[in-house]
Chain A
């Protein structure tokens, strides 16, 4: 079955530091890949997505590239801000069929001034 593995958190960074959160996946076929963000006490917000190999998703300074050869979708940001403090979830959805999304366990990011 499908699965998503994320790096363990929490990740603590100073403001303006470079961020990488690793994500690898196992899936049949050609899944779409997503990063969602969850701020404290809130639901999930879509951060970015990529639907095919070598696609790069980007939003709000965050980027992730769909790497089929390494089955990875690592999240990166060049300069984090305190407001980026949240839990980040990597997720996938197979094409076709019903739209079940499989999530990783989440990585908590704390950015300190």
Chain B
């Protein structure tokens, strides 16, 4: 149990729709990172937020965007959903240290 929670656990959307995924970080952690894990693959870094600012981004298009709130919780927004966006979305929190602690993930299916 890491203390990182994500909602919802599962989600089904259709192509072209928009989705918002949520993450509550572990108490005391000020950094949140988001990852996309396609079936059978390792997680791929989407972006990271530190004290409400995006401070790193992976190779994902601008339709993937995020927010971090003053309590360090975070949202991942994906616009214009595509079939290939179907994946497990993982949130990880950390606090200026080496180790990221992951939540259970949100499984998104795009039809």
Total contacts A to B, CB within 8 angstroms?
A: 64
At the interface, yes or no: A82 with Cβ under 8 Å from chain B? Answer: no
Q: Which of B1-52 contact A (CB under 8 A)?
A: 2, 6, 31, 33, 35, 40-45, 48, 50
- The residue that B105 contacts in the complex, of A43, A51, A100, A106, with Cβ under 8 A, is A43
Complex-state Cα separation, A42 to B51, whole angstroms: 27
Write out the residue numbers on chain A whose beta carbons fall within 8 Å of the beta carbon of B102.
Answer: 36, 43-46
New contact pairs (11) apart from A100-B33, A101-B45, A102-B45, CB-CB < 8 Å: A43-B102, A43-B103, A46-B101, A46-B102, A91-B42, A97-B56, A99-B56, A100-B56, A101-B43, A103-B44, A106-B41
Taking Cβ atoms with an 8 Å cutoff, the residues of A that contact B are 4, 32, 34, 36, 42-46, 49, 51, 89, 91, 93, 97-106
